[in-house]
């Protein structure tokens, strides 16, 4: 009897000790109660993630490392063969995506700030991933020219339905050059996956324009995704003090920076000529004050049925995930999630399992999975 009493007491103490530690913070949204599950941690300023077949994922760390995250959350040693990066300010190893034929060819694409004459510039490389190393690395795009400083590299990559590759390029803090199509500043560019220029790009053969340009007049687009129904490219870009924008970049169009903007300079001064000008496009949506957007994903899964068709955008300044409800190409509602977390959200992606995943941008960054909790 004494033995049974002691055993029951010990089990009760263990249960009390384990209870609070096992408790999960719940976050309320309009439609769901949510929990955040830590998939991996200990990442240094993670910037992008891509899902590998079999449940693993690739994660970039801005200082210049590429990691493979195991199904159990363990981090591989840095993948060998990653190109040297210009790790200054916002620069470093940035986006990563898989080729559409990855299962057969093992090709991935990396965007990064590349060092060279004049400083650094956005570059895109393709390489073959085998085990924990890259081989056959080839640079297929380089921002022209490079420049000093650590601002505004852009760098999101998206493969279009026709197989071409879109990439966003920031204006490197050189505002006026975003209106100069002779250089790569503040643009969406479109290339073939081997680096060739598509013949149907809008400025091919036009004097004074770089042929890789798809659209220009952008500031610093750090989110991009294809609309799941229309297949159109959507982007989200940083404004200055206000004026963060969502755009649907159309071929050959000018999106206005820095001639028009819904923001103001950081010191409070007026930007350009106002909010409208003939020949310059209007955003689909803008934020004022700025949320500092990074990462973008349309939700198409079944884990959160009432979110289907919504677009999700990470926010660095306000440290939250923005959920936008769309009607056609208009934003009709916004819900702000996870601001209690106190973490800069650098990227958001839908996984093959139908869950949304986020990256927190810090020296001890993490991969987080968003899970609904039954009422």
pLDDT tens-place string over residues 112-132: 999 999 999 999 999 999 999
| Residue-range definition of the domain harbouring residue 200 | 26-65+159-373
Q: What is the pLDDT of residues 68-104, one digit of tens each?
A: 999 999 999 999 999 999 999 999 999 999 999 999 9
Looking at the domain assignment, is residue 99 inside a domain?
Answer: no
- Specify if 196 maps to a domain: yes
Residue 341 forms part of a structural domain: yes
Query: In Å, what is the CA distance from 100 to each residue of 129, 147, 160?
Result: 14, 32, 10
Distance separating alpha carbons of residues 197 and 204, to the nearest angstrom? 8
The count of C-alpha atoms lying within 13 angstroms of the C-alpha of 143, restricted to the half-sphere facing its C-beta, is 32
How far is 239 from 243, CA to CA, in rounded Å? 5
Catalytic residue annotation: 152
Measured CA to CA, the distance from residue 314 to residue 333 in angstroms comes to 16
pTM: 0.93
Q: Is residue 37 part of a domain?
A: yes
pLDDT tens-digit series, residues 188-239: 999 999 999 999 999 999 999 999 999 999 999 999 999 999 999 999 999 9
pLDDT at 23 over 70: no
Q: The dihedral of CA 350, 214, 361, 108: what is its sign?
A: positive
- 208 domain-assigned: yes
Q: What is the mean pLDDT of the chain?
A: 94
DSSP 211-225: TTEEEE--SEEEEEE
DSSP summary character for residue 242:
B
CATH number of residue 220's parent domain: 2.120.10.30
pLDDT at 176 over 60: yes
In a domain, 191, yes or no: yes
Cα first-last separation, the chain: 41
What pLDDT was estimated at residue 278? 98
Residue linked to tokens 């869950």: 355
Q: 238-284 pLDDT, tens per residue?
A: 999 999 999 999 999 999 999 999 999 999 999 999 999 999 999 99
Looking at the structure of the chain, the number of domains it has is: 1
Peptide bond into 145 cis (omega under 30): yes
Residue 296 covered by a domain: yes
Residue 130 placed within a domain: no
């Amino acid at each position: 009897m004494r033995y049974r009493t002691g055993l029951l007491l010990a089990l009760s103490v263990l249960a009390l000790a384990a209870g609070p530690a096992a408790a999960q913070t719940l976050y309320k949204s309009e439609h769901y109660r949510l929990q955040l599950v830590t998939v991996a941690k200990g990442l240094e300023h993670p910037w992008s993630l891509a899902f590998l077949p079999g449940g693993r994922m690739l994660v970039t760390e801005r200082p210049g490392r590429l990691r493979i995250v195991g199904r159990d959350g363990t981090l591989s040693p840095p993948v060998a063969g990653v190109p040297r990066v210009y790790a200054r300010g916002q620069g470093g190893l940035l986006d990563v995506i898989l080729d559409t034929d990855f299962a057969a060819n093992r090709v991935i694409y990396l965007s990064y700030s590349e060092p060279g004459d004049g400083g650094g510039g956005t570059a895109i490389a393709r390489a073959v991933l085998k085990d924990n190393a890259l081989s056959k690395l080839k640079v297929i795009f380089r921002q022209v020219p490079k420049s000093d400083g650590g601002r505004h590299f852009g760098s999101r990559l998206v493969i279009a339905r026709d197989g071409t590759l879109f990439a966003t390029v920031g204006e490197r803090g050189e505002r006026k050059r975003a209106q100069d199509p002779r250089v790569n500043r503040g643009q969406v560019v479109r290339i073939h996956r081997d680096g060739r220029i598509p013949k149907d790009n809008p400025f091919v053969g036009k004097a004074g324009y770089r042929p890789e340009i798809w659209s220009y007049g952008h500031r610093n687009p750090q989110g991009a995704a294809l609309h799941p129904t229309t297949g159109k490219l959507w982007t989200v870009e940083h404004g200055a003090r206000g004026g963060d924008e969502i755009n649907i970049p159309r071929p050959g169009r000018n999106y206005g920076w820095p001639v028009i903007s819904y923001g103001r300079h950081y010191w409070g001064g007026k930007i350009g000529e106002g909010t409208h000008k003939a020949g310059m496009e209007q955003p689909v949506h803008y934020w004022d004050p700025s949320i500092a957007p990074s990462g973008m994903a349309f939700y198409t899964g079944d884990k959160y049925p009432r979110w289907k068709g919504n677009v999700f955008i990470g926010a660095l300044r306000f440290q939250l995930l923005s959920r936008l409800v769309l009607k056609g190409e208009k934003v009709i509602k916004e819900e702000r999630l996870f601001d209690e977390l106190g973490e800069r959200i650098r990227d958001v992606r839908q996984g093959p399992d139908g869950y949304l995943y986020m990256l927190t941008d810090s020296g001890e960054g993490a991969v987080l999975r968003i899970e609904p909790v039954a009422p």
